[in-house]
Amino acid sequence: MRTAARVDRIEPFHVMEVGKAAARIAREVQDSDTPMLFLNIGEPDFTAPPLVREAAERAVATGRTQYTQALGLDSLRERISDWYARRFGLAVPARRIVVTAGASAALQLACLALVDRGDEILMPDPCYPCNRHFVSAAEGRPVLLPSTAAERFQLSADRLREHWGPASRGVLLASPSNPTGTSIHPDELRAIHGFVGERGGVTMVDEIYLGLSYDDTFGQSALALDDQVISINSFSKYFNMTGWRLGWMVVPDALVPVVEKLAQNLFICPSVIAQYAALACFEPESIAEYEQRRAEFKARRDWFIPALQEMGLDVPVMPDGAFYAWADCSAAMRRLGVDSSWDFAFELMKRAHVAVTPGRDFGTAETGHFVRFSTASAMAQLQQAAGRLKGLLA
């Protein structure tokens, strides 16, 4: 059967192979003294808090399971608007908020609305692979620009000026980022957005980890710049609703009917049960629990990254958000006699029963020397993993 050419522009998600290998080894060692520890999964170990689960149950019990409008429940859009006001001091009107079937749907809608065939979207290397694949699926061309530790592994205005060309349409950024957990400094982001705007381009910012920011310097939304920024967000990370598949985007007023038309045709509406459940995310009791969990994620970061540094797994930039550590494993690779982070990850699985994510999926700029650790696991698991790694790499 002939498949569409666009499929060839989408690279395989290589980390899935790592996941399958980890699962196979996990079955083999599940009854041993060293069961598999999964530090490769970018998913909070916390689940939706009680009020959210109860709200979902009420929605089902009372029959509130039929379609909503494509833009989402008005009440949920208002709650999100209120959250921006309380959390960030920003006036983001509900009319500009579009509730989506996860951040993935929001990114797809943004790219379909704004990217034409051949348009170039610039983004940093490393970056989350699916983001560039959304551009490819819209028949645009993702252009990855190597970023350094000095740039916080983020796109810089200077690098953008150097590479902007006739086909450039805009930028797709992530702050905080997966896989690095680093954010763009607000001054740098302002310079990037100003440069893009002067050229009639678009600034899209993935902010799904913004709620899990640990530094006031970086814990600001790009929406503070002006009303032309397109922000993508999600209930998956800070709100711990990964499998509920619910997110949102904030777009300029002129883009709302465009996105609405696409959403009507592609998705009809986001999960209705998830929408009613998400209303309870913003209750004071829920927010208090989320903030306790955020503090726990920070505590895990503060313990685990120094532990990595001590065993020679260098983290060049301390992550200021999310729950990742982007570690240079060059020295550790030499100790184990391997020459790529891909092989290094498999050695950790086989010899220490610790699963991590090799850098291969995240780009090509030095990613062969980096692995991503997820600190979304409980502190006891992180401590156990660190002990095994230290024993292996000593």
pLDDT tens digit sequence for 289-339 = 999 999 999 999 999 999 999 999 999 999 999 999 999 999 999 999 999
Asked if 178 and 324 count as a contact pair (C-beta separation under 8 A), the reply is yes
**Are 211 and 329 within one domain?**
no
> Which regions of 153-266 does DSSP assign to beta strands (E)?
168-174, 202-206, 230-234, 247-250
pTM of the model: 0.95
**Are 376 and 266 within one domain?**
no
Domain end point (choices 282, 314, 349): 282
Note the maximum CA span of the chain: 61
**Are 352 and 207 within one domain?**
no
Does an H or E element contain 141, and which?
strand 141-146
pLDDT of residue 269: 98
**Are 268 and 163 within one domain?**
yes
Cα separation, 77 vs 204, whole angstroms: 20
Cα separation, 209 vs 215, whole angstroms: 13
Count other Cβ atoms within 10 Å, centred on residue 206: 28
pLDDT class for 131, splitting at 50, 70, 90? very high
**Are 260 and 310 within one domain?**
no
**Are 130 and 37 within one domain?**
no
**Are 231 and 216 within one domain?**
yes
Mean pLDDT, rounded, of the chain? 96
Query: For 150-175, what is each residue's pLDDT tens digit?
Result: 999 999 999 999 999 999 999 999 99
Domain end point (choices 251, 282, 313): 282
Of 186, 147, 177, whose CA–CA distance to 163 is shortest? 147
In the chain, the number of structural domains is 2
**Are 95 and 62 within one domain?**
yes
Q: Domain range for residue 13?
A: 5-47+286-393
Extract the tokens encoding 320: 């200021």
pLDDT of residue 340: 95
User: How many Å separate Cα 185 from the centre of its chain?
Assistant: 17
**Backbone dihedral region of 363: left (phi > 0), alpha (psi from -120 to 50 degrees) or beta?**
left
**Are 345 and 387 within one domain?**
yes
Count other Cβ atoms within 10 Å, centred on residue 268: 12
**Are 221 and 332 within one domain?**
no
Please report, for the domain that includes residue 375, its CATH number.
Answer: 3.90.1150.10
**Are 320 and 276 within one domain?**
no
Please report, for the domain that includes residue 83, its CATH number.
Answer: 3.40.640.10
Domain end point (choices 236, 260, 282): 282
pLDDT of residue 123: 98
Give every CB contact of residue 39 below 8 A, 6+ residues apart in sequence.
Answer: 354, 355, 356, 373, 374, 375, 377, 381, 382, 385
Residue 191 amino acid letter:
A
Query: For 85-126, what is each residue's pLDDT tens digit?
Result: 999 999 999 999 999 999 999 999 999 999 999 999 999 999
**Are 146 and 37 within one domain?**
no
